[in-house]
Amino acid sequence: MALEFSQRIAQIPVYPAAEGYAQDGSVARLASNESPYPPLDAVREAIARELGKLGVVWSCNAKANVPRATLKVMGDNGLRLLLVGYESGNQQILHNIKKGMRVDVAKRFAKDCRELGIRI
């Protein structure tokens, strides 16, 4: 399915621009655990590879739990910046507001981005 998705991405008209921005929220909903679509990381990687073929620099929204391997593919294909909503660095607060995020995972994500040269 990722190939079919990337083929759709390749059909989007491209206009001259210095940089692009992709809103990731709608993709995240399509790639939930109960979805027939490919896993979110596979979708992100397919999009990144298509953008890489175009040679554009791009940015997008993301949760602070993207695996390092996916970040590497994204960075190698033009990703410059991730917009991340860090609601709190306190695990109890994250639990109380039902974010489904762990502080240690967010810290690892930030470290991975720094090492890969991706700005947050």
- Residues 46-96: pLDDT tens digits? 888 888 888 888 888 888 988 999 999 999 999 999 999 888 999 999 999
- What 105-110 contacts at long range (C-beta under 8 Å, 24+ apart), as own/partner pairs, is 105/64, 105/65, 106/64, 106/65, 108/68, 109/64, 109/65, 109/66, 109/71, 109/84, 110/64
Fill in the DSSP letter of residue 36. S
Q: Any idea which of 28-32, 89-93, 94-98, 110-114 has the lowest mean pLDDT?
A: 28-32
The predicted structure's pLDDT at residue 82:
92
Q: Which residues pair with 63 in a beta bridge?
A: none
Torsion of CA 86, 62, 76, 14, to 10 degrees: -140
Q: Which residue has the higher pLDDT, 92 or 23?
A: 92
- Tell me the C-alpha distance between 81 and 25, whole Å: 16
Selected residue with higher pLDDT from 87 and 41 = 87
| Residue with the larger pLDDT of the pair 48 and 3 | 48
Strands 79-83 and 57-61: parallel
- Read off the pTM: 0.73
Contact 61, 17 (CB under 8 A): no
d(CA 82, CA 109): 11
